[in-house]
Structure 1
Amino acid sequence: VFWEERRLKFKIESFFGAILCVAWSHDEHYLVTGGEDDVVSIYDCRKECVLAKCSGHHSWVTAVAFDPWRSEKLTDLNEIGGLSSDSATGAIERYCIVSAGQDSRLLFWDFEPLPAEE
């Protein structure tokens, strides 16, 4: 919501049923949701669009979270020789997301966004 203008920026709707849980990425670029549709959805907050729908649960998704310790920055990969380009931007290369569901499953997802458009 833009408080100064009192208008909605964008909205997110579930494919089916309610959204039960939500989490922001630690860099605030992405939002992940889970709910009664048994799906983990990843949204790009800057582009205001759905990036991925992750299926794997067999019942409601009741908790989602980004793991900041297992997410990797380009600078981290550069330090161990994973990249040879000048990638000292600190941009996140890979995010780790964990989801829990009513199906008694804890699922781990790796999410690698496409490189930013120039």
Structure 2
Amino acid sequence: MFKKGSTGTRIINVRNLTKEQEEQILTYLQGLVYAWCNTQSDSWFSARDFLGGKNYYWQGTPMIVLYDLFEDEKLAGQAAGKLLKKAISRDKREFETRQAYQCRQYRWTGN
């Protein structure tokens, strides 16, 4: 969930995914968020931290569906960001959010 009064919390759905594909991706992203909060709880994060840079290899994960769907890394990354926002909105913990470095970032508030 987002901290009360947060801006930029509107959820945009990703089209052309089956319910099953979306749920698998959301579960995968939730696991990444959980791991981040346990190891770097005071740090801001974005989809880029989980899925970009050294983590670009999506084969063998539910994320590959996005790459196959869009056949474009940039569009697949944008879709991943939308799905990360949705995963965080469903989380029981509270997160701050901000727009920085041309992407949406999140940080667990500790609640």
* Max Rg structure: 1
Report the TM-score, using the length of structure 1 for normalisation. 0.23
TM-score where L is the length of structure 2: 0.24
RCO comparison, higher one (Cα < 8 Å, 6+): 2
Higher helix share: 2
